[in-house]
Amino acid sequence: MSPMARCGDDNLAHGSRPASARPYGLVAFDFDGTLADSFPWFCGVLNDVAARYRFRGVAEADLHTMRGMDARAIVRHLGIPAWKLPFVSRHMKALAVRDRADIGLFPGIAPMLRTLAGAGIPLAVVSSNGEGTIRTVLGPELAETIRYFACGASLFGKARRLAETVRRAGEPGTATLYVGDEIRDHEAATAAGCDFAAVSWGYTRADTLEARHPAFVFTKPTDIPAAVIPQ
């Protein structure tokens, strides 16, 4: 794993900025909180889902604390029994399909994907969300920049989907960068033998992700091409 770099900042957390970009053969992205600005939508539907499935609702004051937790801690915090998780997840995915026209991409995502694809770097999306929802939010043009879609993963099933994508691409895990915004994204990358890059604009707080020592911490989408396109 390359030294952790806070991209968009001249100061690095460890070491110095590499003289040239890491030659990754595959760059994979999480979707919600990484490419798509879906956190406002998530907050807007969560308490209705909590009432339906009888788990603890979330007050605005809880959000800062929850954004410092991993997924297992959040599940415990909300009091969701393990047997309910598949039902809650399925319902949330159905709501995302219903509301997909209301979910947009973060600023800078579109030019970033175009730049990477234009440089010939194979791209993937590995996500718990559904492929149809992801394609709709991306739109036809940006969806064409994605070579591999591995969607519909269970809450803790991203590692398997990521490993399958690496095999499909014919790249070793060490030549793959997985870009995400949650601790479970880091865990999936580690399990699949891939480098992990954290983004600071998503669900999980940047300080929490930095504590996991990712290869990179990106502070804006337009920093990603410089880190992965060989100079």
Q: How far apart are CA 18 and CA 3, in angstroms?
A: 8
Domain boundary among 87, 102, 117: 102
Domain count, the chain: 2
Q: How far apart are CA 205 and CA 113, in angstroms?
A: 23
pLDDT tens digits along 138-177? 999 999 999 999 998 877 889 999 999 999 998 777 799 9
Q: Predicted confidence band at 3 (pLDDT cuts at 50, 70, 90)?
A: very low
As a whole-number percent, the residues of the chain with pLDDT over 70 amount to 91
164 and 51 share one domain: no
- With 0-12 / 13-18 / 19 or more C-beta atoms within 10 angstroms meaning exposed / middle / buried, residue 8 is middle
pLDDT tens digits along 65-107? 888 888 888 888 889 998 998 899 889 889 988 988 889 999 9
Residues 6 or more apart whose CB falls under 8 angstroms from that of 138 comprise: 35, 105, 146
136 and 221 share one domain: yes
Place of tokens 């900025």: 17
As a whole-number percent, the residues of the chain with pLDDT over 90 amount to 60
Q: How far apart are CA 67 and CA 19, in angstroms?
A: 34
Which H or E run contains 217? strand 216-218
Task: Please give the residue range of the domain that contains residue 90.
Answer: 39-102
Q: How far apart are CA 42 and CA 66, in angstroms?
A: 13
